[in-house]
């Protein structure tokens, strides 16, 4: 649906987007992740034809964004950052104007606007002047505008910024809902958002693409293993030795509570297990407890969050400014970038273990 | 073209939701009504010639006020991004906004038709010069509005756009007077470029192709530069 190849954008001598290649497939929700100023908005503006690229090509729904801009714009619904709206119009007037501009046929217009109003939850403010609406409502009016002509592709630049937690939740579920019928490219710097909504994630930093994968793969590749927290009752040393005996458990840290004065505490020991890549040891831990008749009070597996991935990738970039990543190679961006991602991730990992 | 009409409608809504349309119309009617009444009382002639001749300076000031926010505000508030990522061409946007400003200008002039009715009631006006004057006013208006629109495209500050437009039009107005009485090759050139010499024949009942070409060509030129300015803003 969207193909971006070797896209670069320079403003004077500042490079905002640096040789980015990726693609978005039909029906996909792709998350565009990066710190502020990473080049997310610039990339989106190029895709919508608002800015021309310095070099490289981008195709949206098969049309080139530069030479076929009008056809591209017919296919997309775009929500810019900060949602600029005409503040002096009423909501339904504004949507009527936008629907006309986007070529919604007269006979469908009323129904399309009504549907957009309902889906975005702005029916009750449809007769209000946009300027009197709160940020959350304006955001939703902007979303209603992006979908009013039923475009194949939605490009949303930080759609949940500036909303309160309830509104964020509503907008997220709305985007998920829209994702069933539309291809969506959405940018954000809020990580849980990406984990919740997106099928695939692109991380960009300083204009460069640094990672592209599913949220799950990104987190599991970064550190294959997991951390397991245990609460247990029983003989501390034996339990510790027993846990250390389980294969692929790398380390066991424990707090011995048996020396604690009786009555004040429940004599619960806490253990933290670091485990090796790819294996879930919880079953073996449980069996060990059953065999030895120790008491297991609680067990919790903690996976690496996307937040950590993001942090490690983006800060590592800054640290190693002297030796940047090899750029994604060749005309097959998918394979090339995956290669880069795993290379990067292994480097991140090795760096972590060195430290 | 349908997109131009869509944009035209939106701009008209915007004009009448904001106080600007009412203020501009009120200022114009106050001043033109004053001149009309005073000149009629002094000259005792059933003609609009003298009072309309006077309106040119007022229009030079009011036309840029009408147009000053058209593009500058879009850029400043960021709505230009919404507008230009919709499937519309730069021409359609500029032309729609031009039509809206011209329409407001004509709406502003419309009540002066009552002066004509009044003249017909108190005397026997010669309708020829009156009709030609209104043709001239419309042509002049399209030029003034296009100059104002161009200024609005050049800056993101609407006050600056307004002042630039007023200064440009007032200078063009006085250009003809400034050189009259002097001699040199530049005199006819500046008199041709200035607006006054093209407007005056209309008030006397003369509709000359030379003057029509002047107004139309400047309008087209300004609209063309405006479109180019809008396009080039992407590349900066």
Confidence of residue A305 (pLDDT cuts 50, 70, 90): low
Q: Do A93 and B77 touch (CB under 8 A)?
A: no
Indicate whether B100 pLDDT > 90.
Answer: yes
Q: For a pLDDT cut of 70, what percent of chain A falls above it?
A: 81
How many whole angstroms separate alpha carbon A30 and alpha carbon A26?
10
Residue A22, burial from CB neighbour count under 10 angstroms (0-12, 13-18, 19+): buried
Out of A229-243, A256-270, B143-157, B165-179, pick the least confident. Answer: A256-270
**CATH T-level topology, domain A2-221:** Rossmann fold (3.40.50)
Tell me the pLDDT of chain A averaged across its residues: 80
CA-based nearest residue to B106, from B135, B129, B71: B135
pLDDT at A355: 35
Question: Rounded to a whole number, what is the distance in angstroms from the first to the last CA of chain B?
Answer: 28
Q: Do A101 and B78 touch (CB under 8 A)?
A: no
Give residues 105 to 144 of B whose Cβ lies within 8 Å of A.
none
Q: What is the mean pLDDT of residues A132-147?
A: 90
| Chain A residues touching chain B at CB-CB below 8 Å | 45, 48-52, 70-71, 73-74, 76, 78, 80, 82, 84-89, 93, 97-98, 100-103, 129, 145
Length of chain A (residues): 355
The two three-digit tokens of residue A187, written as one number? 């940018």
Residues of A in contact with B9 (CB under 8 A): 97
> Max Cα separation, chain A?
80
The verdict on domain A224-302 having CATH code 3.30.70.2190 is yes
CA distance B99 to chain A (A): 16
The beta-carbon neighbor of B87 closest among A51, A102, A129 is A102
Place of tokens 């329409």: B103
Q: Which residues does A162 contact at the CB level (< 8 Å), separation at least 6?
A: A135, A136, A139
The two three-digit tokens of residue A230, written as one number? 């245990």
**A265 pairs with which residues across the strands?**
A262
Helical segments of A76-186, H only: 91-101, 106-119, 135-147, 165-178
Give residues 7 to 46 of B whose Cβ lies within 8 Å of A.
7, 9-10, 13-14, 17-18
Residues of B in contact with A74 (CB under 8 A): 87
The residue of chain A nearest to residue B14, with distances taken between CA atoms, is A88
Confidence of residue A239 (pLDDT cuts 50, 70, 90): confident
Higher-confidence residue of B178 and A318: namely B178
> What are the start and end residues of each CATH 3.40.50.300 domain in chain A?
2-221
pLDDT at A263: 53
Question: Rounded to a whole number, what is the distance in angstroms from the first to the last CA of chain A?
Answer: 42
How many whole angstroms separate alpha carbon A161 and alpha carbon A45?
18
CA-based nearest residue to A189, from A221, A161, A219: A161
pLDDT at A331: 41
| Interval A246-286: pLDDT, tens | 877 777 887 776 666 555 455 788 888 877 766 678 888 88
How many whole angstroms separate alpha carbon B224 and alpha carbon A352?
60
Residues of A in contact with B79 (CB under 8 A): 84-86
């Amino acid at each position: 649906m969207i193909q971006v190849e070797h896209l670069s954008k320079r403003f004077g001598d500042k490079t905002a987007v640096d040789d980015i290649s990726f693609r978005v497939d039909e029906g996909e929700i792709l998350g565009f992740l990066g710190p502020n100023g990473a080049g997310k908005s610039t990339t989106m503006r190029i895709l919508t034809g608002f800015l021309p690229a310095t070099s490289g090509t981008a195709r949206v729904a098969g049309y080139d964004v530069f030479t076929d801009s009008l056809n591209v714009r017919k296919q997309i619904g775009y929500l810019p950052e900060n949602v600029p709206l005409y503040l002096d119009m009423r909501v339904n007037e504004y949507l009527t104007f936008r629907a006309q501009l986007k070529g919604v046929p007269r006979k469908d217009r009323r129904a399309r606007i009504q549907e957009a109003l309902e889906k975005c939850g702005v029916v009750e403010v449809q007769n209000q002047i946009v300027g009197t609406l709160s940020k959350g409502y304006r955001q939703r009016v902007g979303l209603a505008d992006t979908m009013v002509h039923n475009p194949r592709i939605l490009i949303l630049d930080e759609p949940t910024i500036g909303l309160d937690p309830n509104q964020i939740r509503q907008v997220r579920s709305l985007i998920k809902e829209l994702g069933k019928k539309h291809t969506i490219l959405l940018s954000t710097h809020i990580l849980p958002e990406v984990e919740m909504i997106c099928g695939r994630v692109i991380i960009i930093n300083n204009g460069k693409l640094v990672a592209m994968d599913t949220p799950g793969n990104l987190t599991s590749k970064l550190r294959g293993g997991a951390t397991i927290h245990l609460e247990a009752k029983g003989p501390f040393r034996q339990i510790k030795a027993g846990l250390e005996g389980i294969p692929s458990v790398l380390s066991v840290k424990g707090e011995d509570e048996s020396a604690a004065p009786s009555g004040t505490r429940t004599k619960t020991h806490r253990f933290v297990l670091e485990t090796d890549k790819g294996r879930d040891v919880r079953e073996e831990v449980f069996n060990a407890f059953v065999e030895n008749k120790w008491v297991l009070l609680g067990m919790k597996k903690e996976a690496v969050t996307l937040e950590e991935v993001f942090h490690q990738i983006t800060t590592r970039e800054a640290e190693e400014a002297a030796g940047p990543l090899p750029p994604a190679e060749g005309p097959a961006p998918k394979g090339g970038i995956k290669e880069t991602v795993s290379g990067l991730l292994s480097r991140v990992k090795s760096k972590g273990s060195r430290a | 073209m349908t997109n131009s009409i869509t944009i035209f409608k939106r701009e008209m809504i915007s004009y009448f939701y904001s106080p600007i349309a009412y203020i501009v119309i009120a200022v114009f009617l106050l001043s033109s009504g004053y001149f009309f009444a005073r000149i009629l009382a002094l000259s005792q002639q059933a003609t609009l010639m003298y009072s309309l001749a006077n309106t040119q300076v007022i229009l030079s000031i009011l036309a840029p006020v009408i147009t000053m926010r058209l593009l500058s505000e879009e850029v400043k508030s960021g709505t230009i991004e919404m507008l230009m990522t919709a499937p519309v061409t730069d021409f359609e946007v500029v032309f729609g906004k031009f039509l809206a400003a011209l329409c407001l200008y004509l709406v502003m002039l419309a009540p002066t038709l009552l002066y004509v009715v009044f003249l017909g009631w108190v005397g026997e006006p010669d309708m020829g010069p009156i009709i030609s004057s209104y043709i001239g006013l419309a042509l002049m208006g399209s030029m003034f509005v296009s100059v104002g629109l161009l200024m609005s495209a050049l800056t993101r500050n609407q006050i600056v756009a307004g002042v630039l437009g007023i200064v440009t039009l007032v200078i063009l107005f006085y250009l003809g007077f400034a050189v009259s009485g002097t001699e040199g090759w530049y005199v006819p050139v500046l008199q041709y470029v200035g607006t006054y010499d093209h407007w005056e024949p209309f008030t006397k009942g003369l509709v000359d192709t030379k003057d029509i070409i002047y107004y139309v060509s400047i309008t087209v030129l300004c609209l063309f530069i405006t479109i180019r300015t809008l396009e080039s803003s992407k590349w900066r």
